[in-house]
Chains A and B, each alone.
Chain A
Amino acid sequence: MAKYLIKRFLYMIFVFFIVSILMFAITKSVPGDPALKMVNQQLASTDPARYQIALEEARQSLGLDQPLPIQYVKWMANTLSGNFGFSLQYRRPVIEVVGTPMFNTVALNLCSLILVFAITIPLGIISAVKKRSAFDQAVQVGSIIGYSLPTFVIALLFIYLFALKIQIFPISGSATPGTDYTGLQRVGDYLYHMALPLLVSTFCSLGGILRYVRAAMIDALREDYIRTARAKGLREKVVIYSHAFRNALIPIVTIITSWFVSIFGGSVVIESIFLWNGLGNTILTALRNLDSALYLAMMMFYVIITLIGNLLMDIAYCIADPRVKLQ
């Protein structure tokens, strides 16, 4: 196990560097000049000579005048030492810019993840046990509707229902304007604002996972060892929740860990509709404005998260299924 983890870790470092080179190359091949952002554009018409000098200076300060390999090495060295660069668009260090959206996104996704599994696992099990009953069919229809409707439709529907018709949740934002709450009150206000985007993102993920849990459970219940468990005189509850669910857990663990990565991924649609300051829009605007330091940093962050996520998945798989050995 330890040997495997060390090997795996070395492999992760290797992949990290390969991907970083690719990312860097792609970023550099994107047309457009980030230095333009740093220079007063009015100069171009009033004083072209000074404009050229200013542009050259800007390029130099960004290190754009150096050959690409050197740029890469400098960027990598900075990144590894914790300096993720300077966002041109916000004129602040990337790490400061990303802080708040990262927190908002992770808070929303983490709550959504917990909610999704808290709902789908029991519901999926009951559906599988009562396969083809009226209950199961209702759940099936609901889950199909849930995952076929696009997010924005569900979002608008929920806003209409829970913010306009029955005004229980605020329409958008992450804090009540004009208030100056502190401590618990602020947390409460934050959660209150998160409720609606949380409901929408949870609802959108329910269908797929629910079907997955149900299918895993139906497969497990069909196995020979379930018949053995019943023949031993075990109660139906023990057969379902201990023998069958423990086996259904193996595929479920795989998707739970694959969600680890998506916790950090922002949704542009939900963030835009609910004016939720998350990573989705932050990265999108960074791309639009050629804010390469910001999106390179974010891309590398996702690379690391994905690599860790895969490792976690393998370890979780190994714990869930004794037949799997990490070698």
Chain B
Amino acid sequence: MKQTRIVITGIGLTAPNGNSLPEFRRNLLNGVSGITAVDVRFMGRHPAGMCTFDPLKYQKKKDVRIGTRAGGISIYCAREALADAGVNLEARDRSRVGIYLGITEHGNVETENEVYNISQFKYDTKFWTHHHNPRTVANNPAGEVSLNLGITGPAYTIGAACAAGNMGLIHAAQMLRLGEIDFALGGGVSESPQTFGIFAGFKSQNALAAHADPTKASRPFDKARNGIVISEGGCIYTLERLEDALARGARIHGEIAGYHVNSDATDYVLPNPERQAECVRKAIAHAGMTIEDIDLVNTHATSTPQGDIQECQAIAEVFKARSAPPHINNTKSFIGHAMGAAGALELAGNLPSFEDGVVHPTINVDELDPQCDIPGLVINHPKSGAKIDVILNNSFGMLGINSTLIIKRFAA
């Protein structure tokens, strides 16, 4: 079946090492990590990825006070994406605009803050804020964007653990193809470092990164990797049907070529490389491509001892029949795990490869784990002179959800 073509026309982001795509890309090519040590409530200092965008660029102080960090990140990214796309929503029918944001979780931060707040008042719940419910409803980040921009179309989040960033784009493409909307803001967002519970949960699972130098803490594929660095961030794309984008003379960053989403159905936490490989294969098939067409694979690998090996196994299995492997890299080595934003941010960091022909490396690999030593890995130094026409982006999450998204260079 011939599908309506969907293209990316704008990108807005904030990452621990960049508040715009040019800044983010520059730091990815120059090996600049965005990870710092932060104080985590009850837990002391831990490496984490924090963003430095100005929340007052697009919000009033009062809106920042009432809203959530995830909402503020989302508003910043959405506004930046619209500016990049050259779109003025006031001139459009805003009931035909959809907002779809992937989240790993939402509400932990706000709930923890309130529990801490009432702990200062002997746990008397009369000190519990009335803002708690609007802050913690799962649609909060998307809803705050709708309020900020006066968008009256559908605005909601997609809970898909750490596969969610891809899901925001996939869902946006699906809604555009269904004709439910005419213009989409799709991507992912994370405020996770503000909650100690996620740090404590990973620590209890022996999956929280620790390193004397926070910039070295996130080190996928390195033999000394010891866990996840938790990060905040956001990345939102404007997506349009190709005919609409061409009609307004939009700059096109790339085209949605194909995708697939599946579930392991095997474990709450542990990944399943067989299902991951199946997800990648089905996404390639959905794109009408073969393994020979993939030029760059951006891995999900989170710097955990077991997860990185399993993804490498999955990728090696899928591409084993190729004579020359695709380039393979990892963005979390720079920015940590931006949870719901991860897939969307990591894709954005690689899209400029279409233009500059450079593959950003996976940094912090001092000693490559032999079990992660698969053909095509780009390690520690960027690889120039690469002809990149197709990028495959993996994002996997707890409860065994897998998402693979394939973006190709736009060609009329």
Q: Do A and B share a complex? A: no
